[in-house]
Structure 1
Amino acid sequence: MNQRSYRKFASACLLGLFISGCGNDHQSSSDTSPSKDQDWPTQSLPASAAVKVDETQFLPTQLMREWHKELDAYGLRTPGSESHEAYTQDLYKRLQKAGVKDVHLEEIKIKVWEPTSWNLGISSGINQYETVNASYVPYSGITPAQGTTAELKYLTPSQLKSLLSGSTTFESLAAEYSDKIVLVDFPTPALTISFYADRAVSTYDPDNTLSPSDPFKRSANGMGSVINLLKGFKAINAKGIVFIANDAGSKELAQIYAPFYAEVYGLPGFYVDMVTGVKLRQEANAKHTVQIKLNATEREVTTKNIIGTIAGKSDELVVLNSHTDGTNGVEDNGPNAVIDIAQYLTRLPQKSLDRSVMIMLSTGHFFAGSGIRSFLDQHKNDGIADRINAAITIEHLGINEWIPNEKGVLTATGKKEFGALFTSNQPALVELSKQWPVNAKAGATFIMPPLHPNGSYAEDSVWPGEGHYFWGAGGIPTINYLTGPAYLLNYGLDTVDFVDFDLLHRQTAAFTQMTMDLTRVPRSELPRRETTAN
């Protein structure tokens, strides 16, 4: 098929010619996968399997484990990078093998900030600096090529608290911190489970594993404060900033990929672990200088959304989504679960799905949600976005809870990482969400309303998850499942042992049930919200 013919075929499928040309006769594409990918279930499923999911018809847990290990091995996958492109191609082939029709790539162009070299040195003699473990703060800023040398000045915990609460202004600290390199403890909010419990529409915790007073300390929760500190100290002419990750006992736990909102803040920043933090506090107390070097480029890259369709009786659509770029295997195990759901749905009789299912694996989560926002913009006038009834986004599945101990070492608690199902609050979506943890025999799960109902963009998100763009920017009713493990934004970390693959299997089956049930919800029960943002 030549490129022009392919585009015509793709357009026909997406514009609704499912019945005549894009049915669900299960045919795998030419298999380029390794031999371990061969034991996929292949038999056709009866119509009854669209009413009640058959949990025996999913991919082997060992295969899911192998895929997770491969994903960890890719390491950090920023959008448009070589590792991200390789994973995108893996997913593209797997969707074809799953029997999804019209699998194609939609390109978007973004301008990414990429560090080329970085270094943090402490004084070891006259004009000599000893390198210490440090990672860069993404999109922070750059130094001159030769680096910047300045006194290291520690921001006290009381000063940090006052700045973040607004009771102290950055301007009031200008005399103290201008022309200095600021040393500050990573600003992790002191949240407890009550943050979720008090806001939840419904809570599933049959084994009473959670108490409202339990701490919920996660580095991801401090991203907004990191941004405020970058902007604030830039405004008073600080020369740089170093964040101490006080719960990180290794350099990997101080390799935090945040923030990622596609804005360069103009102040070079670094993350260091707790051991390095002790050394740096000593340097600051002695009023010693440190030397920082951070070189980076901004370049335009092409990155890709992956899209395919599973035909139902109607050309109205339910979107099944996860994102493909990220930090580690846990951050991005959603797409492999989507593959598993897809291979089940493609084996159903077409007439057993009341509506068609669009698989949409989005890029650009780590670039202010550019993948979904570009998709909505590209398809706002061609009828495709209008045909979407609702979306389901799934992220970070099957997770056991591991948190840093007092030495900064990740340690199993013996509990499951609690999850949250955020919804755009339509009663039909809330009811489907309430049923999901029961079907999955999941750990504790909160059914959540939007946290910022009028939000739309990355820094003003409706809720903390990739799916918020469907609702916030597109007005499309959405369910978004995610967990928030302590290491979620860390790269260079193997995460396969943090996953319960039997739990992941049950959750995948339960999301398959949710997807099938959602195809039967009338559009009249899924009102959109008016929005002009995308």
Structure 2
Amino acid sequence: MEIDMTNITSPELLQKEVEKMNSFGVRLTGTKAQRNFIKYLKSRIHDMGIETFSDPSRFMRWEETNKKLVIKDLDEEFEVPISSAFPYSGRTPAEGITAQMTLVKEKHVGYLNATDKIAVVEVDELDFLPSEIAFNERERSIPEGLKLPSHYSGPVATAFVNFPFLKIAKLAGAKGVICIWKGINDDCIEGQYLPFILDYQGIPAVWVNSKNGQKVIEEAEKGAFATLTLEGIIDEYAKTESFWCVLDGEEEGESVIINTHTDGTNCIEENGPIAMLAMIKYLKDKPLKRTHIFVFVTGHFRLPNFKNIDGGGVQATSKWLTAHRSHWDGKEGHLKAVAGLSVEHLGCKMWKTDENGEYRQTGDVETEIVYTGNKMMDDIYFKSLEDRKKVYTLTLRGHNLLHFGEGQPLFNCGIPEIALVTAPDCLCVISDNNEMDKFDAELMYEQTVSFIKMDLMIDSLTAQEIGPCDGYSAIATKKMVEDSTAKIKEVASEVASKVKDILPF
């Protein structure tokens, strides 16, 4: 399938568009930077002669403005670099909070020893969770035989699964928490905005890398004091919005939903809106069979406020789906969405920690993880890759009620989807260069063209040919169960031992 992108976009134009996006600043949910990016996107769509529609929202927004950690012992006073603030943790006064540090050797239970102290807790890299728990590969890839790592790991996975329960620390009377990354390269975790899935915790917390964290641990074991400063703002009525536009089809009754989100941390998270502008520009003058709805949601980085189980789950698109059933649920007088495309995280180079412990580029293309809603959608995806020069991909089926990215609400609502959710370690990093050294505009261009091909193939098929959504699989291998059970027993034994030592009965 030939796609003429003349006067639509090019690698050079996409590079400029991404740089324009970066110029607004870090686009966390409800920030001025995000609002300006949304304004820009809408103006670009209006310039194409297309109307946009908006869902404004207000929510409580937290933002860190200053962070500092100073340790004081008998001999010296010194500052320890902070890798990042723990999002939506808490705040301190301008002078910070000063208290004795205590090493929490068993997070959660160990907070019982942290009353009126600053808790120091190590967060081990997630390395015991078999990938089979979260992912079901469809046994198809380019190159052939490409597989996910055997165990689910990395900064995002670690922060989402192994994060310290700050609310327990607060209930125990701790004044603050210092989280120490353990087992992850120091350069890799610098500036990580993680985890972003929690509501406001009410206790200040920061992340420190492994090297600097070792000094913090040593001082905590000596009972040294520290001053932790985490200043921030809380806007109880922060403004943000989701918006969408519609390309009418020649036939009535059916729709295709193309979605992404507008909040993000860097040039990769989230550049999906830039690709969708090119898709709209290409498709707007084509004779489309179905109504096409392009949805730009907000709230991906504030999921506690922007999710609705009625709209298909825990991702931000679920709120939009709940509010706009007439675009997709197929009930009387409503459109029936026969397919969806989720456009996220394009143009990712592969950066990993190598065998020498150096965090560097290790491949041209980060693994393109793609969920496909059924066999036909899987076929369409691989057909769209023909003539690609840069491709390194495999496909997944939603598994064990897990489906990452903004394609999940579509899948949960029974809409067969193709959802790109590449997951580089830098995905949630806030940095001065916006992670542009990890971005490839040519790859983003090829992926954008692939999405256009997918859409045209979908639009050429009947709903019956596309077929229904597969639904979640639930497969557990014997080894997976044995490994997970052994780890759970080990952790339970350690916790039980700690409780016995602490409790007075």
Please report the TM-score for the alignment, with normalisation by the length of structure 1. 0.75
1:229 to 165, 168, 184: 165
Deviation at 1:466, TM superposition (A): 1.7
Supply the distance in 2 between the matched residues of 1:311 and 1:484 (Cα, whole angstroms): 33
2:42 to 87, 92, 95: 92
Say yes or no: does 1:512 pair with 2:452: yes
Q: Which residue of 1 aligns with 2:484?
A: none
1:358 to 258, 268, 293: 293
Letter in 2 for 1:328: N
Q: For 1:416, what is the secondary structure of its paired residue?
A: coil
Q: Which moved more, 1:407-416 or 1:392-401?
A: 407-416
Q: Is the 1:192–1:212 contact (alpha carbons within 8 Å) kept by the matching residues of 2?
A: no
Per-residue Cα deviation, 1:157-190 (whole angstroms, up to 9, x for no partner): xx4xxx6xxxxxx33x354444432323344312
RMSD: 3.3
Cα gap change, 1:198/1:450 in structure 2, threshold over 3 Å: closer, same or farther? closer
Number of aligned positions between the proteins:
452
Deviation at 1:54, TM superposition (A): 3.4
Deviation at 1:198, TM superposition (A): 7.0
Please report the TM-score for the alignment, with normalisation by the length of structure 2. 0.79
Q: Which residue of 1 aligns with 2:265?
A: 327
Identity fraction in percent: 24
Supply the distance in 2 between the matched residues of 1:290 and 1:479 (Cα, whole angstroms): 49
Deviation at 1:120, TM superposition (A): 1.9
Per-residue Cα deviation, 1:190-245 (whole angstroms, up to 9, x for no partner): 2799659972013313276x566577642111232354532443443333222233
Q: For 2:165, what is the secondary structure of its paired residue?
A: helix
Say yes or no: does 1:477 pair with 2:416: yes
Deviation at 1:249, TM superposition (A): 3.9
Q: Which residue of 1 aligns with 2:320?
A: 375
Q: Which residue of 1 aligns with 2:249?
A: 312
Supply the distance in 2 between the matched residues of 1:482 and 1:116 (Cα, whole angstroms): 30
Q: Is the 1:428–1:521 contact (alpha carbons within 8 Å) kept by the matching residues of 2?
A: no
Residues 175-186 of structure 1 correspond to what in structure 2 (within 5 A)? 175-186=112-123
Q: Which residue of 1 aligns with 2:437?
A: 497
Q: For 1:201, what is the secondary structure of its paired residue?
A: strand
Q: Which moved more, 1:319-328 or 1:285-294?
A: 285-294
Q: Is the 1:402–1:498 contact (alpha carbons within 8 Å) kept by the matching residues of 2?
A: yes
1:259 to 191, 195, 202: 195
Deviation at 1:52, TM superposition (A): 4.7
Deviation at 1:140, TM superposition (A): 1.5
Q: For 2:381, what is the secondary structure of its paired residue?
A: helix
2:59 to 89, 102, 110: 110
Per-residue Cα deviation, 1:380-436 (whole angstroms, up to 9, x for no partner): 36888842332211111121101245897641113421011113x333323223434
Cα gap change, 1:242/1:75 in structure 2, threshold over 3 Å: closer, same or farther? farther
Per-residue Cα deviation, 1:265-312 (whole angstroms, up to 9, x for no partner): 233210123442233123223221212233442421221223112222
Deviation at 1:122, TM superposition (A): 1.2
Cα gap change, 1:228/1:262 in structure 2, threshold over 3 Å: closer, same or farther? closer
Q: Is the 2:92–2:204 contact (alpha carbons within 8 Å) kept by the matching residues of 1?
A: yes
Supply the distance in 2 between the matched residues of 1:239 and 1:288 (Cα, whole angstroms): 15
Deviation at 1:445, TM superposition (A): 1.5
Per-residue Cα deviation, 1:40-79 (whole angstroms, up to 9, x for no partner): xxxxxxxxxxx65335564121111122223334332112
2:181 to 241, 245, 251: 245
1:189 to 126, 142, 145: 126
Cα gap change, 1:211/1:355 in structure 2, threshold over 3 Å: closer, same or farther? closer
Letter in 1 for 2:143: P
Supply the distance in 2 between the matched residues of 1:70 and 1:196 (Cα, whole angstroms): 39
Q: Which residue of 2 aligns with 1:53?
A: 3
Supply the distance in 2 between the matched residues of 1:396 and 1:523 (Cα, whole angstroms): 28
Q: Which residue of 1 aligns with 2:502?
A: none
Cα gap change, 1:311/1:213 in structure 2, threshold over 3 Å: closer, same or farther? closer
Q: Is the 2:111–2:119 contact (alpha carbons within 8 Å) kept by the matching residues of 1?
A: no
Q: For 2:140, what is the secondary structure of its paired residue?
A: strand
Deviation at 1:375, TM superposition (A): 1.8
Supply the distance in 2 between the matched residues of 1:346 and 1:446 (Cα, whole angstroms): 30
Supply the distance in 2 between the matched residues of 1:198 and 1:365 (Cα, whole angstroms): 21
Per-residue Cα deviation, 1:328-361 (whole angstroms, up to 9, x for no partner): 011111111111111111232x2xx221211111
Letter in 2 for 1:377: T
Say yes or no: does 1:466 pair with 2:410: no
Q: Which residue of 1 aligns with 2:427?
A: 488
Supply the distance in 2 between the matched residues of 1:196 and 1:433 (Cα, whole angstroms): 24
Deviation at 1:114, TM superposition (A): 2.5
Letter in 2 for 1:481: L
Residues 435-474 of structure 1 correspond to what in structure 2 (within 5 A)? 435-438=383-386, 440-453=388-401, 462-472=402-412, 474=413
Deviation at 1:444, TM superposition (A): 2.5
Supply the distance in 2 between the matched residues of 1:118 and 1:420 (Cα, whole angstroms): 35
Q: Is the 2:123–2:164 contact (alpha carbons within 8 Å) kept by the matching residues of 1?
A: no
- 5+ long unaligned stretches in structure 2: 308-315, 472-505
Q: For 1:309, what is the secondary structure of its paired residue?
A: strand
Q: Is the 2:247–2:284 contact (alpha carbons within 8 Å) kept by the matching residues of 1?
A: yes
Q: Which residue of 1 aligns with 2:28?
A: 78
Q: For 2:404, what is the secondary structure of its paired residue?
A: coil
Per-residue Cα deviation, 1:439-492 (whole angstroms, up to 9, x for no partner): 545433221111343xxxxxxxx41202212333x4433321111111111112
Letter in 2 for 1:487: C
Supply the distance in 2 between the matched residues of 1:382 and 1:345 (Cα, whole angstroms): 19
Supply the distance in 2 between the matched residues of 1:511 and 1:447 (Cα, whole angstroms): 15
Q: For 2:451, what is the secondary structure of its paired residue?
A: helix
